[in-house]
Amino acid sequence: MKLVTAIIKPFKLDDVREALGDVGVQGLTITEVRGFGRQKGQTEIYRGAEYNISFVAKIKVEAAVPAARVPDVIEAISQAARTGRIGDGKIVVTSLEQVIRIRTGESGEGAL
């Protein structure tokens, strides 16, 4: 199992949610976050000093998925979230040791 974490532009959330549903992702967690990448936020906002580091509002999307689904999930997020402009975001994949469905006690991929 893997945890796919994507940082995306907030207005792309609906597209990403739909694309993930289309590839069989059953559950998602989102968080409103702020961050910066290589441009340090300065070209994504229109206020503040040019060389100040600014945090830009993003949405973090997290999905726990079977390892075999990761390529499809990456492709779905990439296509749905891409505008071709800076700040489109990033996808990080990490290994998941265990997942448990609290209601039933199921664990592993059966709990996803």
Ligand X SMILES: Nc1ncnc2c1ncn2[C@@H]1O[C@H](COP(=O)(O)OP(=O)(O)OP(=O)(O)O)[C@@H](O)[C@H]1O
Question: In the complex, what is the shortest distance from the CB of residue 26 to ligand X, in angstroms, rounded to a whole number?
Answer: 25
Is 39 an interacting residue with respect to Mg ion (CB under 5 A)? yes
Q: What residue ranges bind ligand X (CB under 6 A)?
A: 7, 35-39, 56, 58, 86-90
CB of residue 29 to ligand X, shortest distance in Å? 16
- Residue 67, helix vs strand vs coil: helix
**Checking DSSP bridges between strand 56-65 and strand 2-8, what pairing results, if any?**
antiparallel
Contact partner, 89, from Mg ion, ligand X, none, Cβ < 5-8 Å per class? ligand X
Q: For residues 53 and 36, is the Cβ–Cβ distance under 8 A? A: yes
61 or 89, CB closer to Mg ion?
89
Decide: residue 88, CB within 10 A, 0-12 exposed, 13-18 middle, 19+ buried: middle
